[in-house]
Structure 1
Amino acid sequence: MTHSILSDLPVLPLAESFALTEAYKLDIFPEKVNLGQGVYRDEECQPWILPSVRSAEEFLHRQHLNHEYLPIQGAAQFTKEARNLLFSPQLAQNENITSVQTVAGTGANHLAALFCARYLRPKNVFISDPTWDNHHLIWETAGPDIKRKLYPYYDPLTRSLDFDGMIAELENSAEENDVVILHACAHNPTGIDPTHTQWQKIAEIVAKKRLFVVFDSAYQGFASGDLDADAWAIRYFYSTLFGDTSLPTSATPAGMIVCQSFSKNFGLYGERIGALHLVTPRSVSPQGAHTHLVRLIRAEISCPSLFGERCVQAILTNLELRSKWEEDVKTMASRIQGVRMLLKLELEKIGAQGNWDHIGRQIGMFSYTGLSKTQVHRLREVHHVYMLENGRMSLSGLNGKNVAYVARAIKEVVDRD
């Protein structure tokens, strides 16, 4: 038999959330529940095409548009509207922000890692413990020479933010130009965000140590239902560190990147629509950096995708569609908050062992339940309830019909211990 070096490559496991979805599809149990994948579902636990997106699609089909290539950096109107949405129209006009279209949030994070690895050359990248698992894979792939360090984020004893641990780690271990990945809102997987006062303290540390922040903004609108409120941290960091009234240039970090996804708040998961926004100090033009971003995009994807971008652009530039979309976002956020409280109350009503207040305090699409890996396995094997091994539950898989079943299943596994 011919030997190839490829013969020595081991078979790697599928990413956990995708593997769970495949296992769920094969499960024939009638009361199975999928709480694994981070996608929105309606009250019937079915994919929901936002009415605003449906209207945009119908509008676009009437235009008889072509399917030509976009520019390498994406559509100019799209990146302008994406920038306005994150930074506000007032701040987005400033000349020290440049934007490119990406292959959703993952593509933005990957492009950020490539850019930082090649041009910033940090010694370390600090990632929250825990975090979205793809952060580690992205930086391992794009910046293998950059040391990945964890900063404390979640305190399992109090089931709340370990703010003191986070600050201490950044204070004591981070060096100038090191990268810090921050979740802009609705932290994945914990559902716990810093308060405004805590964000201000984090910004102080970033300025003092001259760290390079990469914001991951995947859930704007899902934390509170308010798009502006969910962008507060990004706008505060920009205004404080890089805006017209920011710190002296000598105390300003080298820059900041915001990775933006439209998968969740537009329901355009498979269209892969996102943006990367690069901020430079006031005295530095971002145009040189922009051309290097464009070069990286050209080498990887040549140019971004078209149809989903057109949907987002149509909605954000039309007052009627924009208003309808904002209501759609509120609908999704409200339903998730509703089932979150239903689950908490149901667990308390049936006397499930432990305190479940943390479920009600958390925000966004997920609940970090505090269930152990053993308990999660039993939920899946015995009760056919699927969630990630770390105990992260995607709440949109719950509804009025299955929440009592899920609560009883959780009670059974926690009461065994």
Structure 2
Amino acid sequence: MLSAKLIFGTDSPAIRESRVATVQCLSGTGSLRVGGEFLARHYHEHTIYIPQPTWGNHPKVFTLAGLTVRSYRYYDPATRGLDFQGLLEDLSSAPSGAIVLLHACAHNPTGVDPTLDQWEQIRQLMRSKSLLPFFDSAYQGFASGSLDKDAQSVRKFVADGGELLMAQSYAKNMGLYGERVGALSIVCGSVDVAVRVESQLKLVIRPMYSNPPIHGASIVATILKDSDMFNEWTVELKGMADRIISMRQQLFDALKTRGTPGDWSHIIKQIGMFTFTGLNTDQVAFMRQEYHIYMTSDGRISMAGLSTRTIPHLSDAIHAAVTKLKAAYFCSDGIMGAVRSLLLADRSECLLSLDSTVIKWPS
């Protein structure tokens, strides 16, 4: 129940009314899997909608749990922000009663979160269609530095008295990756239903991993119960979140100083550990080959992995990738891919003779 209070709030009406069933699980992944299997066994709708894109493990976890996975629009590559209209349209088209996966805060992998007003519109739409919210909270307190602020989206849904599922992980905000500490909470409509749900969750867990490990859970419980330790943890948590925010600002400033083409404000608008840089696969490959910088092919980077020392090198690499490959694409459109290799070999100019036509592109 300590985990439920952390995410729902100590004054949560659902907790006061004993309408929450909470079980310890194997970090966030285990919480999602137990929740998915519980829904596959006992819920009338077996389709779950997940954001596009989302954490790579989500579709695998829910498919193996016995649910049918569908997606809803979330990220807009053009604005590097939220495709809010697409999100609303897709959820409006979902069948009544469908399950919807929501990232509580610091969306992984995009770093793009709805505003509080947008969350309210999402809540109203989902409740009007009886869509079941399934929240994944992997970064509470790690995004903004405030445990309460990072839980606002969830608490909006709890306050209306409706049902929902909540998967929590302590891997990031307490650094307990190796201990696999998490919790699954299900907010129910009544005390009687919560008792029955808890019983069924135990029946899901028993043949899956029988009992969760105790050491990491004891660490979490000790911190959450001791006011001095809890306060110390929140201070350290904010320090880590502030550091990530500082890395975002430093990277943005470095690109701006270099005059890197494009609008890079999304770096400071996004939140949490990850940022979708907007770099394409060729630019990522170029940075890997020329600067030995490694990131996922979709351009996602972990802001927590940056430092004041490494940001200049990363900024140089991004600037080179954007300026060189932007010119290369201009030259190669409708002509031939060989122009790109010519450009990379000589950034000063791009010359190609084709049917007696000479094309020149200055750097």
Gaps of 5+ in 2: 327-363
Cα 1:390–1:284 change in 2 (3 A) is: farther
Cα distance between partner residues in 2 of 1:386 and 1:82: 36
Unaligned runs of 5+ in 1: 1-79, 243-254
Offset at residue 94 of structure 1 (A): 2.5
TM-score by length of 2: 0.87
Q: What is the total number of aligned residue pairs between the two structures?
A: 323
Task: Look up the SS of the partner of 1:232 in the other structure.
Answer: helix
Contact 2:39 2:46 in 1 (8 A): no
Deviation at 1:177, TM superposition (A): 2.0
Residue of 6, 14, 34 corresponding to 1:111:
34
Q: Of residues 259, 263, 288 in structure 2, which corresponds to 1:355?
A: 263
Aligned partner letter, 1:230? D
Quick check: 1:212 aligned with 2:128? no
For residue 101 of structure 1, the aligned residue among 17, 24, 35 is: 24
Indicate the structure whose relative CO is greater, using CA pairs within 8 Å and at least 6 residues apart.
1
Q: Distance in 2 between the 1:138 and 1:149 partners?
A: 13
SS of 1:286's equivalent? helix
Q: Residue deviations 1:261-296, cap 9 Å, x none?
A: 000000111111000001112475211111111011
| Matching residue of 2:206 | 298
- Provide the rounded CA distance (Å) in 2 between the counterparts of 1:224 and 1:404: 25
> 1:4 aligns to what?
none
Of 128, 140, 159, which residue of structure 1 is paired with 2:63?
140
Partner SS state of residue 386, structure 1? coil
Say which of 73, 76, 83 aligns to 1:162. 83
Counterpart residue type for residue 245 of structure 2: Q
Q: Does 1:377 align with 2:298?
A: no
Could you say which residue in structure 2 is the equivalent of 1:153? 74
Letter in 1 for 2:149: A
Q: Pick one of 75, 86, 90 that aligns with 2:11.
A: 90
Deviates more, 1:197-206 or 1:258-267: 197-206
Residue of structure 1 equivalent to 2:146? 226
Q: Distance between the aligned counterparts of 1:195 and 1:166, measured in 2?
A: 13
Where 1:342 maps in the other structure, the secondary structure is helix
Deviation at 1:123, TM superposition (A): 4.1
Name the SS for the 1:281 alignment partner. coil
CA distance in 1 between partners of 2:200 and 2:288 (Å): 46
Aligned AA (1:164): Q
Q: CA deviation at 1:121?
A: 4.1
How much does 1:212 deviate?
A: 1.0
Match of 1:89, SS state, is: coil
Given that 2:166 and 2:184 are in contact with CA atoms closer than 8 Å, whether structure 1 keeps it comes out as yes
In angstroms, what is the RMSD of aligned CA positions? 1.2
Question: Per the alignment, in what secondary structure is the counterpart of residue 295 of structure 1?
Answer: helix
Between the aligned partners of 1:275 and 1:177, the Cα distance in structure 2 is: 24
> Do structure 1's residue 344 and structure 2's residue 252 form an aligned pair?
yes
| Alignment partners' CA distance in 2, 1:147 and 1:314 | 39
**8 Å CA contact 2:62, 2:68 repeated in 1:** no
TM-score (norm 1): 0.76
1:200 corresponding residue in structure 2: 120
- 2:188 is matched with 280
Residues 177-207 of structure 1 deviation map (CA, whole Å, 9 limit, x = unaligned) = 2110000011111111111111111111111
| C-alpha distance in 2 between matches for 1:93 and 1:387 | 45
Q: In the alignment, does 2:191 pair up with 1:270? A: no
8 Å contact from structure 2 (residues 17, 191) kept in 1: no
Cα distance in structure 1, aligned partners of 2:288 and 2:47: 37
Per-residue displacement from partner, 1:31-73 (whole Å, max 9, x unpaired)?
xxxxxxxxxxxxxxxxxxxxxxxxxxxxxxxxxxxxxxxxxxx
Corresponding residue for residue 41 of structure 1: none
SS of structure 1 residue aligned to 2:206:
helix
In structure 1, how many angstroms separate the alpha carbons of the residues matched to 2:45 and 2:286?
A: 42
1:381-400 pair list within 5 angstroms: 381-400=289-308
Q: Which of the two has higher C-alpha Rg?
A: 2
Which residue matches 1:5?
A: none
2:182 equivalent to 1:182: no
Distance 1:121 1:380 in 2: 48
AA of the residue aligned to 1:98: A
Task: Look up the equivalent residue of 2:85 and give its one-letter code.
Answer: D
